[in-house]
Chain A
Amino acid sequence: MTSTPREITRRQMMRRVGLTALVAVPAAGLLSSCATSGGDSAAPSAAPSAAATSATNPFGVKADAPLEVVIFKGGYSDEYATQSHEPLYSKEFPKAQIKHQGIQTISQTLTPRFASGDVPDVVNNSGTDMLDGGALIGAGQLLDLTPLFEAPSIDDPSKKVKDTIVPGTVESGFGGDPAKPYTLNYVYTAYGLWYDAKMFEKNGWTPPKTFDEFKTFAEAAKSKNVVPFAYAGKNASYYAYWMILISAAKIGGNEILLNIDNLADNAWNADAVKQAATAWAEIGKYMDKSYEGLIHTEVQTQQNQGKIALYPSGSWLESEQAKDTPAGFEYAMSPTPSVSASDKMPYEAIRAAAAEGYVVPAKGKNPQGGLEYLRVMLSKEAAKAFTEKTKSLTVVVGATEGMTLSPGLTSVVAAQTAAGQNVVTYSLFETWYKELETELRKQTNALMFGRISADEFCANMQKAADKTKADSSINKQSRSV
């Protein structure tokens, strides 16, 4: 089965972010039982001998140690690895032989190899048939990537790797208990309000920076027979709740979202959530009722036809709509408006998340090489090649300098630069607690289409969160960053 980049980025991304970041996934037992059946050679099999470390070789990679790389050959294909990342590694270690495998059935191919202890050194764990990250962590099969993020960057040895990538990337790969980074999520996705820059230019509009401006803008759009804001209630109400959650975080800081993820008492009754819900419900009044019965592609097409001004989505939107976008339509993304003057995060803050995981198996023959390979990936040169090959941004900051990007990606980069450290965190309850998430979809539609008030929205969500918390059959997870 082949998948297109847009399929991957949109829905699977959510799952992927969750799966790789998951901690005590219940399925841990499944794989560990597999692992035990393969003989208990679990003891770090003769810790692969390492060479001396140096500034340019921080992990002490043996110059002639072969490296085996397994890449998921899906929407991004594997050319970025064979034509850029692997040659870059070879340039550092010309004597190292690289064995490359581009496959789609990651889990089917690699599970038996993990069980028998003969594992590759780098795995791009992705696709429908990805390995269960939580289970691998539980079985001690993955290497803690902390040394990678603490190592000096290739581009600027005075900086640590973790300081050259988008904030939140390291945390997005957290797993295990206590939580450590096991996964490098490489692809960067930003969320905000999308619009047609050309249309705005023609009408002399600018994306609203506050909700007061939003209302003025909405009236202006209405007078031109354009729906100011719309989303698809039938299958994509989560696009709308993302906006509410982002606003809540802007008002009260990321801890509002952490509390929600951690099922903290009265997390949904927080003032920030109430204010955010109130603000968005006001905007919902400008939507036609019919949007509740449409699916995302139908609404996106309406935007392409110039009937909708602002649409909530993520940075996959431009490539998802590429076929339907008429000439003269230029996608651009703006942050969500500020709710009040006392918001904790500035208007420029955006929600961003990293996805598409890369892991280093703990029991490989050349784990130092695996870490080094990831360090190479996080160099600007490698990241630039990835964006060129896949039309997707990476988590490497400033990697697109000097590149010609599509209008949409250009505006994402601009928004990313403007946001700086002000990044709204990705909500993990979306994958941790599906019942809560299902309820949020329902309540979001009810709120945005005017059937309930913001107070009822918060009360209903709190009730659902309390129910999840009290349900002993649901495994609880927690996060601190």
Chain B
Amino acid sequence: MRHGKLTPAALRKYGFVVSFLAVPVLLYVVFVVWQYIQAFQISFTNSRGISPNFDYVGFDNFTQLFQDDVFWAAVRHHVVLLLAMPLITIAIALFFSFLLNLGGGQRNGRMVGVRGSAFYKIVFFFPQVLAVAIVGVLFQAILRPDKAGVFNSALGAVGIQPVGWLIAPNLALWTIIGVMVWQAVGFYVVLFSAGMASIPKDVFEAASLDGAGRITLFFRITIPLLWDTLQVGWVYLGIAAFDGFALVQVLSVDRGGPDNATTVLPLEIWRNAFTYSKYGVASAMGVALFFMTLTFAVLTLRVTRRERIEF
């Protein structure tokens, strides 16, 4: 097509494309992008959310934030979440998907998963189907700190004292990370399985013929060929590590406790906005969170960039 000339045919063509795109883009701008922009605006005001009148206060909300212990506690927790949660989830998911797809060795000259892998695949995916609120309520019963809890009654059966999963300040955050991992693993097993399925089987078979064991296969063949999928998984999980609102809200002592041990930024945003009516401060936290998430995503994509292996 020649550029610069809008023939009726070209117009029709563009019109057709634009008419499809306009509505979703408009909806996205009105209901998503505009809110982001407004949050930036409100973060510089003393808005309390109940009146259209407010004043601009410059960087006051941000200074207040940077002096707030609770804010820094939440940031620290995101760092822990960011380091631990994706790593544990991906490690477990990779291990499982390797077993499900290639762990059974050769059968009839083809690589297969362990016995019953079709069944396991479905079971692993179950937690993903549950709404996060339901997961929270389930784990409330499982993690109950006295002998009536599912875990603690099992421990009690073998003579171990009840563990304060969510009430010991040093343990509470890790317990919540455990629940997040439990919920996420299934999805990544399926994602990585799909990735592995797209790797040509003859690569594995050739390596196998050359005498590579399962461990060599996993580290030398599977992971390098799965790199793109891993990268995607890492970014998804990293962004999830900046959330955690629902689980912390339902599971933790007094929402974020004990002693701020489990609090996360989305929870503090919610508290500042709806409990304290400090919409300005809440928006400032949102802006901080926005930049943290953005930095993480950019860094991850930069650092993990590798030569793409064509196959």
CB pair A237–B144 under 8 Å, yes or no, is no
In the assembled complex, the Cα of A288 lies from the Cα of B149 at a distance in Å of 15
B46 at the interface (CB under 8 A from A): yes
B101 at the interface (CB under 8 A from A): no
Please pick, from A29, A290, A434, A445, the residue contacting B257 in the complex, using a CB distance under 8 A: A445
In the assembled complex, the Cα of A442 lies from the Cα of B254 at a distance in Å of 7
Please pick, from B64, B144, B257, the residue contacting A442 in the complex, using a CB distance under 8 A: B257
A residues within 8 A CB of B53? 29
CB pair B51–A27 under 8 Å, yes or no, is yes
In the assembled complex, the Cα of A292 lies from the Cα of B253 at a distance in Å of 7
A residues within 8 A CB of B64? 471
In the assembled complex, the Cα of A442 lies from the Cα of B263 at a distance in Å of 12
CB pair B258–A435 under 8 Å, yes or no, is no
Please pick, from A26, A288, A435, A441, the residue contacting B254 in the complex, using a CB distance under 8 A: A441
User: Count of chain B residues with Cβ under 8 Å from any Cβ of A?
Assistant: 29
CB pair B253–A293 under 8 Å, yes or no, is yes
Q: Are A233 and B164 also in contact (CB < 8 A) when A288-B146, A442-B260 are?
A: no
Closest to B50 in A: A27
Please pick, from B51, B165, B166, B281, the residue contacting A26 in the complex, using a CB distance under 8 A: B51
Identify which of residues 42-94 in chain B touch chain A, using a CB-to-CB cut-off of 8 Å. Answer: 46, 48, 50-51, 53, 64
In the assembled complex, the Cα of A234 lies from the Cα of B248 at a distance in Å of 12
In the assembled complex, the Cα of A145 lies from the Cα of B143 at a distance in Å of 52
In the assembled complex, the Cα of A356 lies from the Cα of B280 at a distance in Å of 33
Closest to B271 in A: A438
A451 at the interface (CB under 8 A from B): yes
In the assembled complex, the Cα of A64 lies from the Cα of B169 at a distance in Å of 68
Closest to B254 in A: A441
Closest to A433 in B: B276
Identify which of residues 135-165 in chain B touch chain A, using a CB-to-CB cut-off of 8 Å. Answer: 143-146, 162, 164-165
In the assembled complex, the Cα of A438 lies from the Cα of B257 at a distance in Å of 11
B7 at the interface (CB under 8 A from A): no
CB pair A445–B275 under 8 Å, yes or no, is no
CB pair B280–A289 under 8 Å, yes or no, is no
A89 at the interface (CB under 8 A from B): no
B residues within 8 A CB of A473? 46, 48, 278, 280-281
A residues within 8 A CB of B48? 26, 473
The bracket for how many chain A residues form the interface is 20 to 34
B167 at the interface (CB under 8 A from A): yes
B251–chain A nearest beta-carbon distance, Å: 9
A222–chain B nearest beta-carbon distance, Å: 17
B residues within 8 A CB of A442? 254, 257-260
Interface string of A28-44 (1 = CB under 8 A from B): 01100000000000000
In the assembled complex, the Cα of A120 lies from the Cα of B271 at a distance in Å of 37
A235 at the interface (CB under 8 A from B): yes
A226 at the interface (CB under 8 A from B): no
Given A30-B50, A290-B164, A446-B259, 16 further pairs, Cβ under 8 A: A26-B48, A29-B51, A29-B53, A30-B51, A233-B258, A288-B146, A290-B145, A290-B146, A290-B162, A290-B167, A292-B167, A293-B146, A434-B275, A434-B276, A442-B254, A442-B257
In the assembled complex, the Cα of A436 lies from the Cα of B276 at a distance in Å of 10
11 A–B contacts, CB within 8 A, in A order: A26-B50, A27-B51, A234-B254, A290-B162, A293-B164, A293-B253, A294-B144, A435-B276, A438-B271, A442-B260, A445-B258
A: which residues have CB within 8 A of B?
A: 26-27, 29-30, 233-235, 237, 288-290, 292-294, 434-435, 438, 441-442, 445-446, 449, 451, 471, 473
CB pair A449–B51 under 8 Å, yes or no, is no
CB pair B258–A449 under 8 Å, yes or no, is yes
A residues within 8 A CB of B259? 442, 445-446, 451
Identify which of residues 203-229 in chain B touch chain A, using a CB-to-CB cut-off of 8 Å. Answer: none
A232–chain B nearest beta-carbon distance, Å: 10
Please pick, from A26, A27, A289, A441, the residue contacting B167 in the complex, using a CB distance under 8 A: A289
Which applies to chain B's interface (DSSP): helix, strand, loop or mixed? loop
CB pair B253–A445 under 8 Å, yes or no, is yes
A240–chain B nearest beta-carbon distance, Å: 11
**Which of B53, B145, B253 has the most chain A CB atoms inside 10 A of its CB?**
B253
Closest to B272 in A: A435
B176–chain A nearest beta-carbon distance, Å: 13
CB pair B50–A289 under 8 Å, yes or no, is no
3 closest A-B pairs by CB:
A293-B145, A290-B145, A290-B146
CB pair B145–A237 under 8 Å, yes or no, is no
A residues within 8 A CB of B162? 290
B3–chain A nearest beta-carbon distance, Å: 55
CB pair A233–B253 under 8 Å, yes or no, is yes
A residues within 8 A CB of B276? 434-435, 438
B126–chain A nearest beta-carbon distance, Å: 26
A233–chain B nearest beta-carbon distance, Å: 6
Q: Are A233 and B167 also in contact (CB < 8 A) when A26-B51, A294-B145, A441-B254 are?
A: yes
Closest to A435 in B: B276
A residues within 8 A CB of B144? 290, 293-294
Please pick, from B258, B277, B281, the residue contacting A446 in the complex, using a CB distance under 8 A: B258
Closest to B48 in A: A26
Identify which of residues 98-149 in chain B touch chain A, using a CB-to-CB cut-off of 8 Å. Answer: 143-146
Please pick, from B46, B164, B275, the residue contacting A289 in the complex, using a CB distance under 8 A: B164
A residues within 8 A CB of B164? 289-290, 292-293
A residues within 8 A CB of B275? 434, 438
Closest to A25 in B: B50
B146–chain A nearest beta-carbon distance, Å: 4
A residues within 8 A CB of B143? 293
A residues within 8 A CB of B146? 288, 290, 293-294
Q: Are A237 and B51 also in contact (CB < 8 A) when A293-B145, A435-B276 are?
A: no
A15–chain B nearest beta-carbon distance, Å: 12
B residues within 8 A CB of A292? 145, 164, 167, 253, 258
A residues within 8 A CB of B260? 442
In the assembled complex, the Cα of A234 lies from the Cα of B46 at a distance in Å of 32
B residues within 8 A CB of A26? 48, 50-51
In the assembled complex, the Cα of A211 lies from the Cα of B120 at a distance in Å of 59
B271–chain A nearest beta-carbon distance, Å: 7
In the assembled complex, the Cα of A290 lies from the Cα of B156 at a distance in Å of 14
**Which of B166, B257, B260 has the most chain A CB atoms inside 10 A of its CB?**
B257
In the assembled complex, the Cα of A234 lies from the Cα of B258 at a distance in Å of 9
In the assembled complex, the Cα of A441 lies from the Cα of B164 at a distance in Å of 19
A residues within 8 A CB of B165? 293
In the assembled complex, the Cα of A451 lies from the Cα of B259 at a distance in Å of 9
B164–chain A nearest beta-carbon distance, Å: 6
In the assembled complex, the Cα of A26 lies from the Cα of B278 at a distance in Å of 13
